[in-house]
Chains A and B, each alone.
Chain A
Amino acid sequence: MTNEALIATISQIEAEAETRLGAQYVETFIPAARLHSFMTRIKEDVTLAFDYLFCVTGVDYADHLQMVYHLESILHKHVLVVKVKTDGRETPAVDTVSDIWPTAEFHEREAYDLLGIKFNNHPDLRRMFLDDNWGYPLRKDYKDDIHIVSR
């Protein structure tokens, strides 16, 4: 599917999505409440068939946090980037996609570990690398006067 056809199809199945062509891939912003149903839909749709989640990223944008999912279809050879904003940075939470793509289970644990984004319905949301009382070191406002020598 070409990028133009992909943009048209995405805006057809999800009215609230803001879809545009990014620097490399087609990017779409999805409201956090609609994420799980949208992801299920684009995986099971035979014309889209996004069966490969190859990158899960958490981003800290000062006023909110964001999750970025890179999806590819092995069958159709097209790529889509799905972005979800969390509401605020106090209790950021989005739905898990680990029941759709099992690879997301570890990726989401990592995002929880380093950025503190909670994933609703995640089967095993524990810290992955750091101790339980560590804090979220990849956040921009992370402070540690003992361990960090800042420059």
Chain B
Amino acid sequence: MGIIKKKQDFEVNDYPPVELHEGGSILLTKLDDLVNWARSNSLWPLTFGTRCCAIEFMAVGASRHDMARFGFEVARATPRQADLIIISGSINYKMAPVLKRLYDQMADPKYVIAMGACAVSGGPFYYNSYSIVKGADHVIPVDVYVPGCPPRPEALLFGMMQLQKKIRRERNFSRRKKR
């Protein structure tokens, strides 16, 4: 971790050059860790279920699997209070603008998990269907894809924890390591 001395390594509008080291400053890296720790352990999903995957989603929320253990404390019925959409079920063309609006109404940072074959790719409705969107990523960006029809609750929990891992690697304040 050498201190950068060459002048051409600095850019004029770089993010706050507090103690520039390769890989960012110690102060801001630790601030990132703190923020990511808070964000990843308090991800409240939106109550959003469009088909049978929603039943598995409810099972994940219920006492046996209990997603509250991992910080997905409670599903909120309003996008204003949610950090995460779990698209549990197929999205049809009439639902797509509604999903887009819900996503737009959520406060940043916001995350999306596509749960089940329908949300990943259209699933069994991929061929010869006039109404089903062929994958929810045609509508909103998706962070984690959980395959299955429907996925087991363990699979969804694994996907949710993958999202937590992804959030813990985020850089919000410090600079990305130069390659």
Contact = CB atoms under 8 A, between A and B. Distances in A.
Contacts of A144: 130
Interface residues of B, number: 9
Interface in B141-164: none
Contacts of B127: 149-151
A97 B118 CA distance: 38
Contact of B131 (A137, A149, A150, A151): A137
A116 to B, nearest CB: 14
A150 to B, nearest CB: 6
A151 B127 CA distance: 6
A106 to B, nearest CB: 18
A151 B129 CA distance: 10
A150 B128 CA distance: 5
Interface residues of chain B: helix, strand, loop or mixed (majority): loop
B119 to A, nearest CB: 17
B94 interface: yes
A131 B130 CA distance: 13
A131 B94 contact: yes
A148 B129 contact: yes
Interface in A123-151: 129-131, 137, 142, 144, 147-151
24 contacts: A129-B94, A130-B94, A130-B131, A131-B94, A137-B130, A137-B131, A142-B130, A144-B130, A147-B93, A147-B129, A147-B130, A147-B131, A148-B128, A148-B129, A148-B130, A149-B126, A149-B127, A149-B128, A149-B129, A149-B134, A150-B127, A150-B128, A151-B127, A151-B128
Interface of B: 93-94, 126-131, 134
